[in-house]
Each structure stands twice: as structure tokens, then as C-alpha cells.
Amino acid sequence: MLKHIIQWFWRLVLSIVASQLVRWALRNALDWLE
């Protein structure tokens, strides 16, 4: 049970970090294109 919760928690954290990285990359790309 605890292992399942930890896996779900890591998936949530990774998805949040991934979305932040994508947003940061897009912002840098827009700044670079201008």
C-alpha cells in the first residue's frame, strides 16, 4: 500500500516538474526568437 502511494506521489511530482520545465523552455525559446 505504501509503495503504491509513493509511486503515485512521484508521478505527481514528476508531472509538475515536467510542466514547469516545458513552460521555462518555451519562455526561453520565445526570448531567443525575438
Domain assignments of the chain as residue spans, ordered by start:
1-34
Determine the pLDDT at residue 10.
98
Determine the pLDDT at residue 26.
97
| Full-model pTM | 0.65
In angstroms, the first-to-last Cα distance of the chain is: 50
Distance from C-alpha of 25 to C-alpha of 2, rounded to nearest angstrom: 34
What would the pLDDT profile of 4-26 be if each residue is shown by its tens digit?
999 999 999 999 999 999 999 99
Distance from C-alpha of 31 to C-alpha of 19, rounded to nearest angstrom: 18
Residue 34, pLDDT > 90, answer: no
Distance from C-alpha of 22 to C-alpha of 28, rounded to nearest angstrom: 10
